[in-house]
């Protein structure tokens, strides 16, 4: 039986923050208390001055595999996730070929499992080939995934989107919506949700008007969830190419207010690695999963949002949406943990990214917070 004590640190999850030791036995959190006994058979990891939290979960990652291996591979993308403190990620379907069939999805899941790093959930497309003409076979694909998204493209057909929403209600899966133009399509899709029912998740919301519409839908009791990204909370009035575009300071302030008021469900990175050549010709996206924690830690600390709030949006809520242990640091749960230095000054250095994508507008930016270790089922991956 393997035993490890994380000793002398601060323990944070969505519910509380306190000083405590953490005992891990055979990959499970076995005890969380002060001054835990250290026997001869226990490995002690001194984390004095550091914070241990549930590991992060990301609902929105582009692994580019299969088909775009010059941008990222399954292995480099997953290792980048681990470097950023993530043990659970959802990969988007806009690969080549599109993940709209069981063969592509099963292949990605099998290869990811063999790597024994982060848990990977492969999203399926909503429409065949992401062409917006015909829905995929939701019933068959549901056995492999609970996430469906034509990410990178808008679903223009109201009839097709309504059909997808009705299927999501019947089969209990999540439609992850890429709204473009953002506010116009958010309003349309909320209206379709109200008429048809379903489970709708809005990806990478950046504008105040969009968030207000989603808040109103939540107040009506509609089954709608929403994510915001680190780059849309940190970057504004910047012409760096992403979809949706980086917005204004007023938009960012409204997103922060929505977080404080409890309307935002999770932080997702929309990690989108590109080559320098692709960015030079206008490819939209940011390689962001490795600096998500320091960006959010910086933004939240500057806006008076406690670490418990960060853990709720980066661990607990997305874990629940994935259907796994609810991202809490409690006895009996898997020891999926991240050890961070909340106060460390760091400077973004894209050249040191594990990801093949070095594309970020934040290179050279000073942030606060650093991932020290990533632990999955008690095993130190970083």
Q: Is 336 exposed, middle or buried (0-12, 13-18, 19+ CB in 10 A)?
A: buried
* In contact, 160 and 132? CB cutoff 8 Å: yes
Cα–Cα dist 228/265, whole Å: 8
Cα–Cα dist 150/177, whole Å: 7
Considering only CA atoms, which of 15, 20, 49 is closest in space to residue 315? 15
Considering only CA atoms, which of 97, 1, 72 is closest in space to residue 43? 1
* In contact, 231 and 256? CB cutoff 8 Å: no
Active site residue 270: yes
Read off the DSSP letter of residue 146: S
Cα–Cα dist 309/325, whole Å: 18
Considering only CA atoms, which of 222, 343, 365 is closest in space to residue 291? 365
**Strand positions, DSSP E, 2-126:** 3-12, 17-25, 28-33, 43-46, 51-54, 56-61, 86-91, 119-122
Q: Which of 21, 177, 265, 270 is catalytic?
A: 270
Cα–Cα dist 199/86, whole Å: 25
* In contact, 71 and 58? CB cutoff 8 Å: no
Cα–Cα dist 62/262, whole Å: 27
* In contact, 126 and 164? CB cutoff 8 Å: yes
Neighbouring-strand partners of residue 58: 89
Long-range pairs for 189-195: beta carbons < 8 A, 24 or more residues apart: 189/161, 190/214, 190/217, 190/222, 190/224, 192/158, 192/161, 192/162, 192/165, 193/165, 193/217, 193/222, 193/223, 193/224, 194/220, 194/222, 195/162
Neighbouring-strand partners of residue 66: none
What positions carry a catalytic annotation?
270
């Amino acid at each position: 039986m393997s035993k490890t004590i994380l000793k002398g640190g601060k323990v944070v999850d969505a519910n509380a923050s306190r000083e405590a030791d953490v005992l891990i036995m055979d990959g499970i959190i076995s005890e969380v208390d002060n001054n835990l006994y250290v026997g001869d058979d226990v490995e002690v990891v001194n984390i004095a001055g550091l914070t241990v939290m549930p590991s992060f979960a990301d609902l929105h990652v582009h692994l580019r595999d299969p088909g775009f291996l010059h941008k990222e591979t399954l292995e480099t993308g997953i290792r980048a996730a681990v470097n950023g403190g993530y043990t659970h990620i959802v990969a988007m379907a806009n690969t080549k070929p599109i993940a709209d069939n069981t063969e592509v999805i099963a292949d990605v899941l099998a290869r990811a499992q063999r790597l024994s790093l982060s848990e990977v959930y492969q999203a399926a497309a909503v429409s065949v080939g992401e062409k917006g003409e015909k829905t995929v076979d939701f019933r068959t694909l549901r056995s492999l995934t609970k996430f469906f998204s034509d990410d990178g493209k808008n679903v223009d057909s109201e009839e097709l989107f309504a059909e997808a929403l009705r299927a999501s209600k019947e089969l209990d899966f999540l439609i992850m919506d890429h709204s473009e133009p953002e506010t116009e399509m958010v309003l349309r899709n909320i209206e379709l949700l109200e008429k048809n029912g379903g489970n709708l998740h809005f990806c990478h919301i950046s504008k105040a008007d969009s968030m207000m519409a989603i808040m109103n839908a939540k107040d009506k009791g509609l089954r709608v969830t929403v994510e915001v990204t680190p780059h849309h909370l940190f970057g504004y009035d910047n012409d760096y190419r992403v979809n949706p575009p980086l917005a204004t300071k007023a938009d960012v302030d409204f997103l922060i207010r929505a977080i404080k008021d409890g309307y935002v469900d999770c932080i997702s990175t929309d990690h989108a690695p590109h080559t320098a050549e692709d960015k030079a010709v206008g490819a939209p996206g940011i390689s962001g999963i490795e600096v998500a924690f320091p960006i959010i830690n910086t933004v939240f600390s500057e806006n008076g949002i406690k670490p418990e709030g960060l853990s709720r949006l980066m661990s607990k809520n997305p874990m629940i949406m994935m259907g796994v242990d609810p991202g809490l640091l409690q006895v009996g749960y898997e020891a999926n943990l991240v050890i961070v230095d909340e106060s460390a000054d760091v400077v973004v250095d894209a050249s040191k990214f594990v990801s093949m994508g070095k594309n970020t507008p934040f290179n050279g930016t000073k942030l606060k917070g650093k991932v020290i270790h990533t632990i999955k089922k008690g095993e130190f991956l970083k």
